Amino acid sequence: MRSQKLFVSGGAFIPQFGTNKNDPSVIVSDFWLDSHPVTEAAFRKFLKSHAEWRDEKNASNFSDEKFTSFWLRREPSPNRVYYPAIFVSWFAASAFCEANMGRLPTTFEWEYAARASATKKDGSADGELTAQILDWYAQPNSANALFSVFQGKPNAYGIYHMHGLIWEWTEDFNAFFAATDSRQEGDKNKDLQCGAGSLNGANRENYAAYIRYALRGSLRAKDTLSNLGFRCAYDQKK
Amino acid sequence: MIRFLFFALIAFECAFPEVEFAAELPVEKAIMTSPPEVPPSITRDSPAKVIMALEVIEKVGKLTDGVEYTFWTFGGTVPGKFLRARVGDTIEFHLLNHPNNKLPHNIDLHAVTGPGGGATSSFTAPGHQTRFTFKALNPGLYIYHCATAPVGMHIANGMYGLIYIQPEKDLRHVDHEYYVVQGDFYTPKNFGAKGHQPFSMQRAIDENPSYVVFNGSASSLIGDNALKGKVGDTIRLFVGNGGPNLTSSFHVIGEIFDRVYFEGGSNFQENIQTTSVPPGGSSIVEFKVNVPGTFMLVDHALLRTFNKGTLGMLKVEGDPLKDIYSGKELDEIYLGDESVASALRKSSEKMTAEAPKAEVAKTNEKYNGAEIFEKNCSMCHQNTGQGLEGVFPPLAKSDYLLGIAKSKDRKEVVNIVLNGRTGKIKVNGKEYNGVMTPVSGLSNGELAAVLTYVTNSWGNKAKEFTPSEVAEYRKKVQK
């Protein structure tokens, strides 16, 4: 089985955090998205042909010690070949996608494709879906071992594991975490602390979305996590 | 040159007397404890720089026997570690998010004066740590909690604890200080459903918890985990309420709080039975344990205690003080109405004594003379008509009664019943000088029945009384 580039037909939707208070909905243009998260095997292939990422000193400018330790110092395990690639920074993920004629999806594109349930492209009315997603967030990491991206079932777009396996980078992951020190009156304080975060959310009962935005907002471009990976988006099929 | 710098320093300090050079403050690491323990009182009398480091750990724990839940914790416990400092201290706060955690977290300490209570400066991704510094401007007992969206879920999963900022002069000495925080938990199924339970967002929004517990578990303060004390000890409880939704009506069964620093503030009220602890709030309660026993900590919204787990125990050992609490002194039968009581007493006595042959008393068709007698007369004249020597004259074989009952004009006996009798009478050779109160509410039929019964029981024999006869006498003796 292989990851494919799937067409996602554009449209309007209401993300948890939009750009315009007056109109909560956002329009996403047509785009293509990887059907599966990028695998370890695929990322190792990228490293083989990109020496600058194998250079520890160089890599440390664009990632952290965990990247170096996991990708550059450890022997790859044959069991993990199709596991999602983890311990990758935003820089590393962007570089990979670029090398594959793509880019990271924008947060809106990601959230748009992720709103699908197993049967419906727009699963935002599906409370079950939100509850299932929340359950995964609530379980400790130890309970959720990684597994092959080629297992499991796709959503209505044919996309696998938008939820339930790993967190994923987006191109503008930190656009929704505005400066938290706002001294001006009437400033649109979009930070995700307490009241400000909750009151600005489009759907106050979409706890799963809050959690995703909070996670993305807590990261910096060099950071890596044991459960943070990515997939690529494309503006045309190649 | 040195002298110049020295004078410059003095001049600077005089101009800005509040400026404490951070370098001048002594540095100490905060002593932090897991619940239910509290760090010792800080004895220094000047400010210091206090280093506090809290680690966030997401872990599976026990809500009650057989029920597991994924808690998000400060320091591995619910509530998180107890933090203690002194008013005026400069606190350097580190928040560490363990790399095994799935989510980012931050912290809002209610003791902080500053945006978000520290939350805006402590947003920490997993596998990272952050730091900020604040000055403890106010004394008091304060809640701290995570404030990362969705805040309700982070708090509902156990991310709260207490930080105590001692006033300049700390509270009076007590023998024990303990740390108790109530919280409400939300799972799709009700209390006790076995296995690992997830968080239910809908029940949390509906404010319908399945568990309301102290210190993160229904079993945290019971049995072997009970708080302990000895007779005569003074106890202080630092009580908090993490919520997220419910207010606690905190009460210790069998104890009265001598002092309550209500809402964790600077003043105290005395002699309090139950005190309100709102979510995101606290209270300091003090009491002396005078007698031994097990004293229950509860939320006095009692269905939570009985059905959702808000129960803790304080076990006090020592010798009893019977004049303060005697324990059960008496336990005997209670029969309600006195006539029934005496009837039962008499009937049990009768069974043991050699009883005269029970006469079948005559009864009128409609009314049961024996019943009427039992209800109206037996309390004084007794069930077998023997009366009470010197007090109530007997009816059994009473020459006085039978004298009237066997004569032609028997109105006197109706007179006695309807109008009462006072003054000296002689019955069977004995003198009685008492008061018989009138018996009211008897119809002619009822009166006839009871008179017939009395004059034909216990060895008595006389002509039956009829309702018409009684009616005639009634007319004559009516007052």
> In this predicted structure, what is the pLDDT of residue B363?
47
Q: Is the pLDDT of residue B17 over 50?
A: no
Closest to A110 (Cα-Cα) out of A43, A42, A20, A175: A175
Check if A70 contacts B (Cβ < 8 Å): no
Tell me the ipTM for this assembly.
Answer: 0.78
| Residue B312 structure tokens | 């803790």
Chain A residues 209-238 with a CB less than 8 Å from chain B = 210-211, 213-215, 217-220, 223-227
Question: Which residues in A lie closer than 8 A to residue B202 (C-beta atoms)?
Answer: 127
What is the reported pLDDT for A189?
Answer: 47
List Cβ neighbours of B60 (8 Å cut-off, separation of 6 or more): A140, A143, B68, B69, B70, B71, B196
pLDDT of B165 over the 80 cut: yes
CA distance A58 to chain B (A): 22
Pairing of strands B227-230, B311-317: parallel
Please report residues of A whose CB lies closer than 8 A to that of B103: 137, 211, 214-215
Q: Least CB-CB distance to A205: which of B120, B149, B205?
A: B205
Q: Is A222 exposed, middle or buried (0-12, 13-18, 19+ CB in 10 A)?
A: middle
- Decide which of B1 and B246 is more confident: B246
What residues form DSSP beta bridges with B67? B64, B195
As a whole number of angstroms, the distance between CA A36 and CA A38 comes to: 6
Q: What is the pLDDT at residue B351?
A: 64
Task: Please determine, for residue B6, whether its predicted confidence score (pLDDT) is greater than 70.
Answer: no
pLDDT in tens, B369-388: 988 898 888 878 888 898 88
- Give the model's pLDDT for residue B80: 98
Quick one: CA dihedral B117, B119, B122, B126, positive or negative? positive
Task: Please state the φ and ψ torsions of residue A133, each to the nearest 5 degrees.
Answer: -65, -45
Of B115, B199, B205, the CB nearest to A138: B199
Strand partners, B281: B241
Q: Which residues of B touch A128 (CB under 8 A)?
A: none
DSSP assignment letter at A71: I
pLDDT recorded at residue B353? 58
The answer, yes or no, to whether residue A135 has pLDDT greater than 70, is yes
The predicted-structure confidence for A139-192, as pLDDT tens digits, reads as follows 777 656 899 999 999 999 999 999 989 999 999 998 875 434 333 333 444 444
Question: Model confidence over B263-300: pLDDT tens digits?
Answer: 999 999 999 999 999 999 999 999 999 999 999 999 99
H/E element holding A198? helix A194-200
Asked if residue B264 lies in contact with residue B141, where contact means CB atoms within 8 angstroms, the answer is yes
Distance (Å, rounded) from C-alpha B278 to C-alpha B262?
11
CA atoms within 13 A on the CB side of A101: 6
Secondary structure of chain B: what % helix, strand, coil (to 5)?
Answer: 25, 30, 45
User: pLDDT tens for residues B194-233?
Assistant: 999 999 999 999 999 999 999 999 999 999 999 999 999 9
Where on the phi/psi map is residue B336: left (φ > 0), alpha (ψ -120 to 50), or beta? left
Nearest to A191 among B60, B120, B152 (CB): B120
Query: Average per-residue pLDDT in chain B?
Result: 90
User: Rounded to whole angstroms, how far apart are CA atoms A13 and B425?
Assistant: 106
Using the structure block, give the residue that is written with the tokens 């206090």. B50
Reported as a pLDDT band with limits 50, 70 and 90, residue B438 is confident
CB-based contact, A140 to chain B, within 8 Å = yes
Helix axes A207-218, A107-114, angle to 10 degrees: 150
Please give the mean pLDDT across all residues of chain A: 86
Are B125 and A218 within 8 A, CB to CB?
Answer: yes
What span, in angstroms and rounded, lies between the C-alpha atoms of B4 and A221? 50
The residue type found at B387 is G
Q: Which of A192, A200, A222, A223 is best to mutate for the B interface (most B CBs within 10 A)? A: A192
- What is the Cα B121 distance to its own chain's centre? 43
**Entry pTM:** 0.72
**Is 80 exceeded by the pLDDT of residue B341?**
no
| Residue B100 with chain A: CB contacts under 8 Å | 140-142, 226
